[in-house]
């Protein structure tokens, strides 16, 4: 009878050994490649589409001044890429009849990091500001124009074109 007992125990151990290998865990893995294309972008927002100077007595008000125009520059470029903002006038300030005020009299002051003051020009774009690398920059311009008794009466206008470049 001892034989039967021993063979029964050996048979049970064999079953336990077989059942453990049947339930062994298996692992597997896979990779996913992530690719993102980030292109250069530039976005310019001006707080106003028009500058207007109210008429004033030149003896009382030597310079006409505009309200501040907010400037928002957003650019995406390389880490060392130069982001540049310029402005150029279409022509002198002119009336429909052809009377003119030299555009070089129209100047601006600036606020905001790396925004610069300047003088309007109809032949060469003038720097408004420049920055290195991507980012969002905000500033403002306030325009002024000498007020003179020598101006002919009329409504004068010119277009100022701001250009933002991010390589």
Q: Is the residue at 150 inside a domain?
A: yes
For 18, 26, 88, 152, the CA distances from 7, given in Å and listed in that order, are 16, 33, 102, 124
Q: Does 132 or 23 have the greater pLDDT score?
A: 132
Confidence (pLDDT) at 48: 86
Work out the mean pLDDT of the chain and round it to a whole number. 90
pLDDT, tens digit (0-9, with 9 covering 90-100), for 107-145: 999 999 999 999 999 999 999 999 999 999 999 999 999
Q: Is the residue at 3 inside a domain?
A: no
What CATH number does residue 48 fall under? 2.60.40
Average pLDDT over residues 82-97: 97
Q: What is the pTM of this model?
A: 0.79
Q: Is the residue at 29 inside a domain?
A: no
Q: Is the residue at 10 inside a domain?
A: no
Average pLDDT over residues 91-115: 97
Confidence (pLDDT) at 49: 84
Q: Is the residue at 27 inside a domain?
A: no
Range in 6-10, 24-28, 48-52, 75-79 with the lowest mean pLDDT: 6-10
Average pLDDT over residues 78-93: 96
Give the residue numbers spanning the domain of 59. Answer: 41-165
Among the listed residues 144, 140, 139, 100, the one whose alpha carbon sits nearest the alpha carbon of residue 122: 100
The total of other beta-carbon atoms located within 10 Å of residue 164's CB is 18
Q: Is the residue at 57 inside a domain?
A: yes
- What string of DSSP letters covers 10-77? HHHHHHHHHHHHHT-----------------EEEEEES-S--------TTT-SEEEPPPEEEEEEEE-
Q: Is the residue at 16 inside a domain?
A: no
7 phi and psi, to 5 degrees? -65, -30
């Amino acid at each position: 009878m001892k034989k039967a007992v021993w063979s029964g125990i050996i048979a049970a151990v064999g079953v336990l050994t077989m059942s453990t290998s049947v339930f062994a865990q298996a692992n597997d893995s896979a990779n996913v490649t992530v690719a993102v294309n980030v292109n250069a972008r530039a976005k310019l927002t001006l707080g106003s589409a028009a500058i207007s100077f109210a008429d004033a007595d030149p003896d009382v008000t030597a310079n006409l001044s505009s309200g501040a125009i907010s400037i928002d520059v957003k650019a995406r470029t390389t880490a060392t890429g130069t982001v540049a903002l310029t402005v150029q006038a279409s022509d002198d300030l002119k009336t429909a009849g052809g009377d003119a005020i030299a555009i070089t009299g129209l100047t601006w002051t600036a606020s905001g990091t790396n925004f610069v003051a300047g003088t309007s020009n109809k032949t060469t774009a003038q720097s408004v500001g420049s920055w290195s690398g991507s980012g969002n920059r905000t500033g403002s311009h306030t325009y002024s124009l000498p007020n003179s008794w020598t101006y002919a009466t009329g409504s004068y206008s010119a277009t100022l074109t701001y250009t933002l470049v991010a390589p």
